[in-house]
Structure 1
Amino acid sequence: MTTPAPVHEATAGRSTAPVRLSGVAMMLTSALSNQLGAATGALAFGSIGPAGVVAVRQWVAAVVLVAVGRPRVRTFTWRQWWPVLSLAVVFATMNLTLYTAIDRVGLGLAVTLEFLGPLSVALATSRRAVDLVCALVAGSAVLVLLRPKPTADYLGLGLGLTAAACWAAYILLNRLIGARLPGAQGSGAAAVLSGLLYVPVGVLVFARHTPSPRALGCAAAAGVLSSAVPFLVDMLALRKVPTQIFGVFMSAHPVMAALVGWIILGQRLPVVDWLAIAAIVAANSATAIATATAPRRQR
């Protein structure tokens, strides 16, 4: 999702402790909501499959983001349109590959693999020694997660890595769009286009599998919990915490996904996978903290 510009934390004379605590609570709420949404959507896989769930989620996201962004598409130039079109394709591909990976390898593992996208972007833009160490740690953890075993679903693992590549592209395109379009206009336009791409997909899926009210409800809840709530909560959180700290708490997503997958979907991970997830989370946290402290050291 688009990251709005941070706002100064507190006015003069006001204690910043409550502000920071509320910001932390918002970030954890956003991560939990995102993964609860994915788990809720997974409950409908048996009825309409990942493609059907993603179609409904994209439609819900389109309604929310177009209401927030209010894109003035008639004023867009080609220089603004091409990254928006690219983002729409990336957005659609990212969610489909992620949800299909969740169906095949489980929520915790799929989200951890997808999380490599933003981590790779952060590591690729730095030349610090600590980031090289973090890259080696994360790379080793990925090898552990992808290790050959009798029950390995390599297609599911590959789809998780594809979702990671899409998330990396999503971040880079959002940065470009943010520089060329005001507010959330670009995200709103991309969400609408992505939703339109899923109209024929939804028609095909629902023609073959008549959706039950429960399945539609789960898919719609996935759209609200994984798109609407995180988008709005993250905007509020970034008014209370620096963007670097926000980056640290992105690490909560794989952990939340593994816990939610275990509690709601009954997807248990072996201890070695938990250790690999912890290593990736630690690598991201170290990278974000190093980024946050680097300017101070240069002064």
Structure 2
Amino acid sequence: MQTTAQARQPVALPVPTAENGGRYAGIAMMFGSGLSNQVGAAIGSLAFPVIGPAGVVAVRQWIAAVALLAVGRPRLRAFTRRQWQPVLLLAAVFATMNLSLYSAIDRIGLGLAVTLEFLGPLAVALAASRRVVDLGCAVAAAAGVVALTRPQPTTDYVGIGLALLAAVCWASYILLNRSVGRRLPGAEGTAASAGLSGLLFVPIGIVVLIQHPPTPAALGCAAAAGILSSAVPFLIDMLALRRVPAHFFGIFMSINPVLAAVVGLVFLGQNLQVLEWLSIAAIVAANVVSVVTARR
């Protein structure tokens, strides 16, 4: 609130605050998380022909578990019942989200799967926001995602169901990660969730890798995806959700299709058309408006 002396000043320059600094740090974290996620996904996709989506996800979960347990070093015996609850739920959600999304991509393609999955964070943004401008930004970002991915009609209802399951998991991931970050210090909760998620994939991974023997190159690609698409985003998202509201995080997740398009252009040589660049501009503009107009 302005004082009387401040109100008399003809020009008021913005004063940096701890809250603003935390928000900007959260934005930088979310961008870094999205970029790491998409680069990892591009590398991991190279292993699909050898070990399939389930094999890549299994290796991803194992690598993420080892990396995050080494960083977080959770004191599991000290966890209270109240702390264990979101950790267990997050582990189940994290495992289900990755497997359902990769399985959906394998059945209905990347464009439709990504579009349907984005319904998760979009729902969080629409449900949690109390500002008309945020609602408008969420809708504009959603329109940009649809135009960017250009989903094609399909009658594969199993694939559609898997993508919608991934959307529910992504929404739950946002809310549970925020809860874990509030209830546990540092990265302990994140590490515990990743470790439990990795355990869930032990029987799945063993069966898949026996049926589809991996090559060293495929294992390397899947391991890189585990670090870049699981361990790094999982940790950064938890830290970011301590600094930004859940609805803003949901809106900002629309940047992922943009980063995917750019990563595809740079790393995989996938050219973008004019409509795709316009879609990217619309998504970026929606995020910029949401950031600039944000209130305390």
- For the criterion TM > 0.5, the same-fold answer is yes
Residue in 1 that maps onto 2:260: 257
Length-normalised TM-score, structure 2: 0.74
Correspondence 1:71 to 2:79:
no
Give the counterpart letter for 1:126 in structure 2: S
Residue in 2 that maps onto 1:211: 214
Correspondence 1:184 to 2:187:
yes
1:100, CA displacement in angstroms?
A: 2.6
Correspondence 1:61 to 2:64:
yes
Correspondence 1:82 to 2:85:
yes
Residue in 1 that maps onto 2:196: 193
Change beyond 3 A, Cα 1:266–1:165:
farther
Correspondence 1:99 to 2:96:
no
Correspondence 1:166 to 2:169:
yes
Specify every segment of 5 or more residues in structure 2 that has no aligned partner in the other structure, as ranges: 1-17
1:232, CA displacement in angstroms?
A: 6.5
1:1-299 pair list within 5 angstroms: 29-104=32-107, 106-107=109-110, 110-111=113-114, 113-138=116-141, 140=143, 149=152, 155-230=158-233, 243=244, 250-265=253-268, 275=278, 278-290=281-293, 292=294, 294-295=295-296
For the residues of structure 2 that align with 1:109 and 1:269, how far apart are their CA atoms?
17
Specify every segment of 5 or more residues in structure 1 that has no aligned partner in the other structure, as ranges: 1-5, 11-19
Q: Say how many residue pairs are matched.
A: 273
1:23, CA displacement in angstroms?
A: 9.4
Does structure 1 conserve the Cα–Cα contact (< 8 Å) formed by 2:148 and 2:257?
A: no
For the residues of structure 1 that align with 2:255 and 2:139, how far apart are their CA atoms?
20
For the residues of structure 1 that align with 2:35 and 2:207, how far apart are their CA atoms?
32
For the residues of structure 2 that align with 1:217 and 1:148, how far apart are their CA atoms?
31
Does structure 1 conserve the Cα–Cα contact (< 8 Å) formed by 2:65 and 2:231?
A: no
For the residues of structure 1 that align with 2:20 and 2:69, how far apart are their CA atoms?
27
Does structure 1 conserve the Cα–Cα contact (< 8 Å) formed by 2:35 and 2:259?
A: yes
Length-normalised TM-score, structure 1: 0.74
1:118, CA displacement in angstroms?
A: 3.0
For the residues of structure 2 that align with 1:77 and 1:153, how far apart are their CA atoms?
43
For the residues of structure 2 that align with 1:161 and 1:274, how far apart are their CA atoms?
26
State the Cα deviation string for residues 241-277 of structure 1 (Å, max 9, x = none).
x748x95865542211123234544666776566556
Q: SS of 2:201's equivalent?
A: helix
Change beyond 3 A, Cα 1:103–1:277:
farther
State the Cα deviation string for residues 45-80 of structure 1 (Å, max 9, x = none).
111111100000001110111112211111222222
For the residues of structure 1 that align with 2:47 and 2:56, how far apart are their CA atoms?
7
Give the counterpart letter for 1:134 in structure 2: C
Give percent identity, aligned residues only.
66
Greater C-alpha radius of gyration: 2
Give the counterpart letter for 1:171 in structure 2: I
State the Cα deviation string for residues 31-51 of structure 1 (Å, max 9, x = none).
333211101111111111111
Change beyond 3 A, Cα 1:207–1:109:
same
